[in-house]
Chain A
Amino acid sequence: MRQAVATGRVVSGRRSSGLLLLAAACTATACLPAVLALLVATRHPSHPAVVAVAAGLAVSVVAALVAGRRMARALAGLERRGDALCGELLRLAKPASLGEIAFSIAHDLNNPLAIINEEAGWLRDLLGESRLDNESVRREFAGSLSQIASQVKRSSEITGRVLEWAREQDRRGDAEGADVNEVLTATLHLLEPDLGRTADVRVVKRFDAMLPRAGLSSGDIGQVFLHLTKNALDAMKDTGGTLTVSTERAGTTIRVQVSDTGPGIAPEVRESIFEPFFTTKASGEGTGLGLAISAWIVRRAGGRIEVDTAPGGGATFRVVLPVRAAGERSGGSHAGGSTAVGR
């Protein structure tokens, strides 16, 4: 099994703090000879050459310090801008993933609606026949009416699932951090119709019941789980297989694994899967933003996404999240509109 870790093209917190360290190191290196020269100068204060060299070095140290601070400021600015860009990307991508869900919901609702439509039409047909006292016509009537009732129930189950997920999404500002098991459960409910449509997919859940809360909001991690589980189902669309979703605590982190038994990820695309707009799906089926956004959300919360895959051997996406520290407000809540569906 080969492994790839999400690396972002977007300016990440980790990368820019690395650059800050580099700037600090440069400044320190520049300081070292200056300090030495100053030491020499204090020992031999009379020698003009030493004084001149010491003064020159002192000037360059000041210059280096000023340059270092400017660099640090510029980097901090870049980081802020990077975060703002990612926030924007997230805001833009949300309608994309909600759009995908909307398609799925429309399809799921249109099926019962089509049945209700035909039953109503059939009742009208029967009325036109005007043999209502006939026993068999009465049976037809009763059959159609009970179908209408049961299709309405089916429809309300669909809207119920959507609302359940939307409610989980809406808890984005919660200071308590996400209950990962709960969010995963809501996500799997939301995908139930997709499961029915996919060729024989078995779902295996292995949840750690004692899981602590994660250090990010339900809304954010819900997005990540939706992308990962949808991708897993898509991978098994033709072949069927097993979707395994597991959670466990590992020290100060929570590990969530989403595995499929699909064809796996080809080595030549493995490095690119977290890049924005990269997709192997047919045009119109994927935006290429799901994994990029997911990686960004998780990284911002101080976690990471890893993938294990082998051609023909399925793929496992592992999300490592920090446990919410006691007293800490959940990270990952961000500016931007609500994502609730149908409010």
Chain B
Amino acid sequence: MRVVRLLLVDDEARFVETLSKRLALRGYYVETTCSGAGALELVGAKPFDVVLLDVRMPGMDGLETLCAIQRVQPLIKVILISGDASIGAAVEGMRHGAVDYVLKPSSLDDLLAKVDSAFEKKRLEEEQAGGTPAR
């Protein structure tokens, strides 16, 4: 099974830094950025499987970034991260094509279960699309 390529997007710099170290320790390939614009740039330049995306960010917020990512890379799976327990933004995000959401703070096990299932979904879609993994 190939390595899951993750992009972690959150304006809390220390959060992405530490979480990425923990994910890397568990065998994931992780890149990080602190803004929606940064995420778009990375997604346009490199292949990712799953994006972990904070909903509330200054400038381009999570929902805008989600829509923009899907225009560039429709196959990428996006999981929203939300700091407030407002189900509203999560529902809105799912309607715009996010596959799941996690609430901050969350346990790493929960997060990994969601990442793995999102990755599995993407892999199956790629298989159905003709067996060649989309970039």
**Residues of A in contact with B (beta carbons under 8 Å apart):** 103-104, 106-108, 110-111, 113-119, 121-122, 125, 144, 147, 151, 196-199, 284
Interface contact A125-B25, CB-CB below 8 Å: yes
**Does A110 lie within 8 Å of B25, measured CB to CB?**
no
Inter-subunit contact B18/A115 (CB<8 Å): yes
Across the interface, do A110 and B12 meet the contact criterion of CB distance under 8 Å? no
Residues of A within 8 A of B108 (CB): 121
Instruction: Find chain B residues with CB under 8 A from A106 CB.
Output: 83-85
Residue numbers in B under 8 Å from A115 (CB-CB)? 12, 14-15, 18
B21:A122 contact, CB within 8 angstroms: yes
A107-B59 contact, Cβ under 8 Å, with A115-B18, A118-B15:
no
Identify the interface centre among A118, A151, A197: most chain B CB within 10 Å of its CB: A118
Known pairs A103-B85, A110-B84; list 11 more (Cβ under 8 Å): A103-B84, A106-B85, A107-B83, A111-B12, A111-B15, A114-B12, A114-B105, A114-B106, A116-B105, A118-B105, A121-B18
Q: Which residues of B contact A111 (CB under 8 A)?
A: 12, 15, 83, 104
A-B pairs with beta carbons under 8 Å apart, 19 shown: A103-B84, A106-B83, A107-B56, A110-B105, A111-B12, A111-B15, A113-B105, A115-B15, A115-B18, A118-B19, A119-B18, A121-B18, A121-B108, A125-B21, A125-B25, A147-B14, A147-B18, A198-B58, A284-B86
Question: Which B residues touch A118, using CB under 8 A?
Answer: 15, 18-19, 22, 105
Min CB distance B71 to A, Å, is 20
Q: With A and B bound together, what is the CA distance between A278 and B79 in angstroms?
A: 35
A121 near B22 with CB under 8 A, answer yes
Complexed CA–CA distance, A125 and B27 (Å): 13
Chain B residues with CB below 8 A from A147, complex form: 14, 18
Could you tell me how many residues of chain B have their Cβ less than 8 Å away from some Cβ of chain A?
21
Instruction: Give the docked Cα–Cα distance between A116 and B105 (Å).
Output: 9
Most buried by A among B22, B58, B104: B104
Q: Is B88 an interface residue (CB 8 A)?
A: yes
The 10 residue pairs across chains A and B that have the minimum distance between CB atoms: A107-B84, A117-B105, A114-B104, A114-B105, A110-B83, A118-B18, A107-B83, A110-B104, A113-B105, A118-B19
Cα A151 to Cα B105 with chains together (Å):
13
Q: Which residues of A contact B106 (CB under 8 A)?
A: 114, 117
Tell me how far the C-beta of A199 lies from the nearest C-beta in chain B, rounded to whole angstroms: 6
Measured between beta carbons, the chain B residues less than 8 angstroms from A110 are: 83-84, 103-105
Nearest neighbor of B17 in chain A, beta-carbon distance = A118
Contacts of B22 in A (CB 8 A): 118, 121-122, 125
Question: How many whole Å from A255's CB to the nearest CB in chain B?
Answer: 33
Within 8 A of A (CB), among B104-120: 104-106, 108
| 1/0 contact string of B6-36 vs chain A (CB within 8 Å) | 0000001011001101100100000000000
Complex CA gap A125/B23 in Å reads 11
Known contacts A107-B56, A121-B22, A122-B21; decide if A114 and B83 are in contact (CB<8 Å): yes
With both chains docked as a complex, state the minimum distance between the C-beta of B57 and any C-beta of chain A, in angstroms. 8
Q: Are B84 and A144 in contact (CB under 8 A)?
A: no
Which of A103, A104, A117, A144 is most buried by chain B, counting CB atoms within 10 A of its CB?
Answer: A117
